[in-house]
């Protein structure tokens, strides 16, 4: 499994080929309960809304942990931005007024402008080329007090390796 990473000043992406059809890979991604096992940072702990992702605008919350977050344990509310089975899935993380930390404000969810996106394309029989992109081009200037990306770039490679393992296990089972 070859993994390649590319970074600009507004996004970073990693690419790999998974030995599973795009439908299987997409199925793993559309299940929030798999996200802790996919996550390459170790920050995603649990799916608080484990319903399958089906619609643009759908919100799914994740329990998170990070040593540098003001509360260490916190929640992220993710809004589905793109869902095109089995070709693409993207979401934008945000937080609500009950979580203190990076995204404060109002009585509603606030989104920071960064997006996680997976693009899938067939790469021969039973294989899928997966591109994972972390895009922070939509982050407003007042929220750029942290360095982007806020993690080591190899976390994307780790996420793709984890995704490949999960998807490949599904076709063996």
Burial class (CB in 10 A: 0-12, 13-18, 19+), 38: buried
What is the domain extent for residue 62? 3-135+166-172
Note whether residue 52 is domain-resident: yes
The mean predicted confidence, pLDDT, of the chain is 87
pLDDT > 50? residue 104? no
Q: Which residues of 130-151 are buried (b: 16+ CB within 10 A; e: fewer)?
A: bbbbbbbeebeeebeeeebbeb
Using H for helix, E for strand and C for coil, what is the string for 83-124?
EECCCEEEEEEEECCCCCCCCCCCCCCEECCCEEEEEEEECC
Note whether residue 155 is domain-resident: no
Note whether residue 100 is domain-resident: yes
Number of domains in the chain: 1
pLDDT > 90? residue 105? no
pLDDT at residue 7 in the model: 83
Helix (H, G, I), strand (E, B) or coil at 4: strand
pLDDT > 50? residue 152? yes
What secondary structure letter does DSSP report for 69? S
- 67 falls in which pLDDT band (50, 70, 90)? confident
Note whether residue 154 is domain-resident: no
CATH code: domain of residue 77: 3.30.530.20
Note whether residue 118 is domain-resident: yes
- 173 falls in which pLDDT band (50, 70, 90)? low
pLDDT at residue 97 in the model: 55
Note whether residue 150 is domain-resident: no
Note whether residue 143 is domain-resident: no
pLDDT at residue 33 in the model: 95
Mean pLDDT within 144-149: 82
Digit-coded pLDDT (tens) for 68-92: 777 888 888 899 999 999 999 999 9
Note whether residue 140 is domain-resident: no
């Amino acid at each position: 499994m070859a993994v390649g990473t590319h970074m600009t000043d507004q996004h970073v992406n990693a690419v790999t080929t998974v030995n599973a059809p795009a439908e299987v890979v997409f199925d793993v991604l559309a299940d929030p309960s798999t996200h802790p096992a996919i996550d390459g940072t170790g920050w995603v702990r649990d799916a608080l809304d484990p319903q399958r992702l089906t619609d643009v605008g759908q919100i799914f919350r994740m329990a998170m942990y990070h040593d540098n977050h003001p509360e260490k344990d916190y929640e992220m509310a993710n809004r589905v931005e793109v869902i095109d089975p089995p070709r693409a899935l993207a979401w934008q993380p945000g937080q609500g007024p009950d979580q203190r930390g990076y995204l404060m404000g109002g009585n509603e969810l606030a989104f920071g402008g960064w997006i996680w996106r997976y693009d899938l394309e067939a790469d021969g029989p039973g294989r899928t080329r997966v591109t994972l992109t972390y895009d922070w081009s939509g982050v407003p200037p007042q929220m750029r007090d942290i360095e982007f990306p806020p993690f080591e770039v190899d976390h994307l490679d780790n996420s793709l390796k984890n995704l490949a393992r999960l998807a490949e296990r599904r076709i063996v089972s």
